[in-house]
């Protein structure tokens, strides 16, 4: 893969985590999932986890001040200097602006923005099958609302760059192949 800094947009249940994991193994670059970081913090009861838990359980975004420093530190680690895949960040405008600032400071200019598209009812049915603690129907619907309100506008935010939209409503391997083709060409 030639492009080594990837941002995954797309709603919950679109397959960002699964695809990011494949691509991260393929390219040998870290898969940075803010959702995974928060879930680990909650499971181990760290101060971050304690502050984040009620938001995650309710399907709300965790406040930016809990996330921004965490991402900044993560992107400065040695293993992130050759590339990374961001999954679940940025999630709102403030986070996207902050990410642009960090990348400018790190002199990392090119990023490949991927957007996985899946119809809403398919998302709900996938999420209901997942059995994660925050995957009950009420929370799922709320997470989708939060996505439309806060995260979907990032497609416009990035409209001065290329946002590569990919149909995520097909077999896993086909989605992976489509993503690899984009990443290799970018
Ligand atoms: P995910 O695994 O990406 O679906 O994230 C699970 C939950 O973690 C979300 O519903 C939010 O509560 C929280 N979360 C993950 N990433 C972020 C983020 N970038 N900003 C705020 N909250 C987040």
Indicate which atom in ligand 1 lies nearest the CA of residue 38: 8
CATH of domain 5-29+83-185: 3.40.50.300
User: Residue holding tokens 């919950």?
Assistant: 12
Residue 11 pLDDT: 98
1 pLDDT exceeds 80? no
Q: Give the residue, by CA position, lying nearest to ligand 1 atom 12.
A: 56
What is d(CA 72, CA 121) in angstroms, rounded to the nearest whole number? Answer: 35
Best residue among 61, 66, 149 to mutate for probing ligand 1, ranked by most atoms within 8 Å of CB: 61
What is the pTM (predicted TM-score) of this model? 0.96
33 Cα to the center of ligand 1, angstroms: 9
The residues near 73 (Cβ < 8 Å, ≥ 6 apart) are none
Q: Is the CB of 13 under 6 A from ligand 1?
A: no
15 pLDDT exceeds 80? yes
Indicate which atom in ligand 1 lies nearest the CA of residue 63: 21
Helices (H) and strands (E) in the chain, counts: 9, 5
**Concatenated DSSP letters of 82-115:** T-EEEES---SHHHHHHHHHHHHHTT----EEEE
For residue range 26-80, list pLDDT tens digits in order. 999 999 999 999 999 999 999 999 999 999 999 999 999 999 999 999 999 999 9
Average pLDDT, the chain: 96
> Structural domain boundaries of the chain?
5-29+83-185
For residue range 165-177, list pLDDT tens digits in order. 999 999 999 999 9
Q: Which band of pLDDT confidence, cut at 50, 70 and 90, is reported for residue 3?
A: low
């Amino acid at each position: 893969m030639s492009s080594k800094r990837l941002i995954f947009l797309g709603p919950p249940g679109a397959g960002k985590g699964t695809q990011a994991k494949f691509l991260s193994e393929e390219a040998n670059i870290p898969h940075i999932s803010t959702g995974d970081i928060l879930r680990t913090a909650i499971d181990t009861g760290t101060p971050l986890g304690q502050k984040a838990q009620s938001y995650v359980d309710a399907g709300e975004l965790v406040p930016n001040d809990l996330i921004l420093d965490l991402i900044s530190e993560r992107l400065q680690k040695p293993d992130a200097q050759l590339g990374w895949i961001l999954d679940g960040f940025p999630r709102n405008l403030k986070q996207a602006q902050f990410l642009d600032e960090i990348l400018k400071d790190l002199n990392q200019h090119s990023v490949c923005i991927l957007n996985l598209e899946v119809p809403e009812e398919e998302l709900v049915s996938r999420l209901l099958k997942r059995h994660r603690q925050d995957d009950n129907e009420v929370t799922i619907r709320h997470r989708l609302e939060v996505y439309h309100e806060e995260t979907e506008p990032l497609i416009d935010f990035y409209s001065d760059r290329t946002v590569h939209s990919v149909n995520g409503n097909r077999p896993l391997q086909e989605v992976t192949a489509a993503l690899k083709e984009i990443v290799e060409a970018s």
